[in-house]
Every structure is written in C-alpha cells, then in structure tokens.
Amino acid sequence: GESVGLHLPTLSVQEGDNSIINCAYSNSASDYFIWYKQESGKGPQFIIDIRSNMDKRQGQRVTVLLNKTVKHLSLQIAATQPGDSAVYFCAEIAHSGYSTLTFGKGTMLLVSP
Amino acid sequence: DAGITQSPRYKITETGRQVTLMCHQTWSHSYMFWYRQDLGHGLRLIYYSAAADITDKGEVPDGYVVSRSKTENFPLTLESATRSQTSVYFCASSTANEQFFGPGTRLTVL
C-alpha cells in the first residue's frame, strides 16, 4: 500500500479502547469540517462532518467535537477495532457549498489486538 | 460499476515525458478535483472543476494541465514530467461539501 503514514503523528491504542484524534485548523472563517479515513492503498473515505454552528455531532461509534474558540477539532472513536487502523485527516471548507477542502496533514491510528 | 475510477493505478515514466492520468465518475457530480499526496504534505489541491468547461487552479497547479469536456471525465496531464511530480494522485468528485475519492494513481518519474 501507499506509505502515506510515515512521518505522521501516530496514536497507538489497544483494541476496545477509546481513541481521540486531534486537529487544529487554520481559518477562523471555515464553517464546515469533515473527518476522512484513509486506509493503506486507498483513497480517503468520509467518516463524519460538522457545521460551525454545532459543537458536537455523533455517528456510529464516532463523535466529532468542535471548539471554535481555539480552532480545534477532535474525532473520538469508541471501542476501537483493528479495522480502524488508518490515517485520519480533518478537512475544512471556508464557505459551505463551495466544495474546496483544505486538509490537515493527518494522524496515523494503530490498533493492536 | 457506479463510482469514481482512476487509471492507470500505477505508472512509471521518465523526466520530460507527457503523462495523462484519467478520472471518471458515474454520479454526474458537478465538482471534480485533483489532489496530490506526499509525505509530510498531506493532500494538496492541484486543480478543480465546478462543471464541464470550467476549471480553476488549486494550491499547486504548476506543471499540470486539466480539461473537462464532459461532466464525467476530468483528465490531468503532466506536460513534461519532473521528478518532483513523483506522488500519489487522487481524483475526487462532489455535489456540495462531501467529496468522494478515487483509489489513486501512484506515479513515479525517473
């Protein structure tokens, strides 16, 4: 697969633990945020999104938290599984609907059985 | 099959050669994008297109050319490949905010 994980911040957890992946974004005008998951050898895959008028959104086993005051996003994964091992990217859009994303550099999540 | 596809998946070429990477989507999404992904840089936008015959530069457009004569296709051409263009290239399409990515093309320029 592609070696996109080298030189990335890495989070190592045990199967069943909860994982928290953090992201700092740069543009205070950004009003829409997305988390993507990228497995080795594949393209990024949408996980969950959040608009700037929200501070929390939940999906299946995932929760995204948004703190606009400090321009910080986090992705929480409950009961982490080996299949969650991947690189996770946050992305921001300055104007919702315009569709030009700015991606963070990513965090590699390694889940041990 | 429905979705977004890229071809070729792997390509090795030499400095100075012209290379075209293909991208095809079956959703009729209006927006399409080309990114490159490199160690230490994450995903960087090369070019994007809001509709057929409408294209615009992204963050790193130099050395690349795109066209969009049909909604479903968005080819990316490296007119004279350089070693610095060795990368993994991803195409994406979207209707509004969520982008759907292709599987990527790994390009090596020798």
Read off the pLDDT of residues A29-49 as tens digits, 9 standing for 90 and up.
Answer: 888 899 999 999 899 999 999
> Is residue A85's pLDDT more than 90?
yes
Residue A36 has what pLDDT?
95
Query: Going by DSSP bridges, is the β-strand pair B105-109/B10-13 parallel, antiparallel, or unpaired?
Result: parallel
Nearest Cα neighbor of A2 from B45, B73, B101 is B101
**What DSSP assignment string belongs to A52-113?**
TT-SEEE-SSEEEEEETTTTEEEEEESS--GGG-EEEEEEEESSTTS--EEE---EEEEEE-
pLDDT-based confidence at A104, cuts 50/70/90? confident
Residue A83, amino acid: G
Buried b (16+ CB within 10 A) or exposed e, B75-109: bbebeebeeebbbbbbbbbbeebebbbbebbbbeb
Higher pLDDT, A71 or A27: A71
Q: What is the pLDDT of residue B56?
A: 92
Evaluate whether A103 touches B42 at the Cβ level (below 8 Å). Answer: yes
Query: From the CA of B5, how many Å to the nearest CA of chain A?
Result: 11
Tell whether B61 lies on the interface with A, counting CB pairs under 8 A. Answer: no
The answer, yes or no, to whether the previous bond of A9 is cis (omega within 30 of 0) is: no
> Distance, in angstroms, between B11 CA and closest chain A CA?
14
Is the minimum CB–CB distance between B104 and chain A shorter than 8 Å? yes
B40–chain A Cβ distance below 8 A for any pair = yes
Average pLDDT over residues A57-86: 95
Residues of chain A with Cβ-Cβ distance to B40 below 8 Å are 7, 105
Question: Residue A10 forms beta bridges with which residues?
Answer: A108
Banded model confidence at residue B23, pLDDT cuts 50, 70, 90: very high
User: In angstroms, rounded to a whole number, what is the distance separating the alpha carbons of residues B77 and B55?
Assistant: 14
Q: Is A95 on the interface with B (CB under 8 A)?
A: no
Residue B58 main-chain phi, psi, to 5 deg: -105, -145
**What value does the CA radius of gyration of chain B take, rounded to a whole number of Å?**
13
* Length of chain A counted residue by residue: 113
Q: Report the residue of chain B nearest A35, measured CA to CA.
A: B98
Q: Quickly state the pLDDT bin for A99 (edges 50, 70, 90).
A: low
Mutation pick from A34, A47, A100 vs chain B, by most beta carbons of B within 10 Å, is A100
Q: Shortest CB distance from A42 goes to which of B92, B103, B106?
A: B103
DSSP β-ladder status, A10-14 and A107-112: parallel
From the list B37, B96, B97, which residue is nearest A4 (CB)?
Answer: B37
Contact B74, B49 (CB under 8 A): yes
Residue A5's pLDDT is 41
A26 and chain B in contact, CB less than 8 A: no
Q: What are the start-end ranges of the E strands in chain B?
A: 4-7, 10-13, 19-25, 31-38, 42-51, 54-57, 64-66, 76-78, 87-94, 99-101, 105-109
* Chain B residue closest in CA terms to A34: B98
pLDDT score recorded for residue A20: 96
Residue A1: pLDDT band (50, 70, 90) is very low
Name the band, by pLDDT with cuts 50, 70 and 90, for residue A95: low
For residue B43, give the chain A residue with the closest CA.
Answer: A103
Cβ contacts below 8 Å, chain A against chain B, sum to 61
